[in-house]
Amino acid sequence: MLSITREFRFEAAHRLALAHLTDEENTEIFGPCARIHGHSYRLRVTLSGTTNAFGWILNFSELKKIVYQHVLSEYDHACLNELHDYRNDIPTAENMAKTIFRRLEPHLQGPNYRLLRICVHETENAWASWEADHALCS
């Protein structure tokens, strides 16, 4: 299988908390992440497919445009908890990977390619991935 990956960076804040719990209960479950805090996120978008007449799966410039239009225009410098995407979900790396995949999938399907994987890095050492048809942690 042939694949391409483009990495993006964005800044965002979030808080891990359940609305029905007190601040103390949320701190017990989520630790310091129950307070609002920020990350310098890395987002990796991977497509799989075959090369076209130009020798690429998809022009990296086109991939960049699609990701900015459908994800980063909202996520960059946002408080993720305030986004519609996380109205009913906690903005964990896992939920972000799944949500971003679902946002991008309709826009990243062509005659020779499809969206394969989304990987969201909160830190250098902590990330979550969502892959087509099933979840992965890698």
Residue 122 annotated among the catalytic residues of the structure: yes
Phi (first) and psi of residue 87, to 5 degrees: -60, -35
20 is annotated as contributing to ligand binding = no
> Contact, 45 vs 104, CB < 8 A?
yes
Strands (E), 1-138: 2-14, 37-49, 78-79, 109-110, 113-123, 126-131, 134-136
- The answer to whether the annotation marks 14 as part of a ligand binding site is yes
Residue 133: both structure tokens together: 């048809």
The single residue of 33, 74, 79, 131 carrying the catalytic annotation is 33
Check 11, 77, 82, 137 and give the catalytic one: 77
- Any binding-site annotation on 107? no
Q: Residue positions in the annotated binding site?
A: 14, 37, 39
Q: Residue positions in the annotated binding site for Zn(2+)?
A: 14, 37, 39
Enzyme catalytic residues: 33, 77, 122
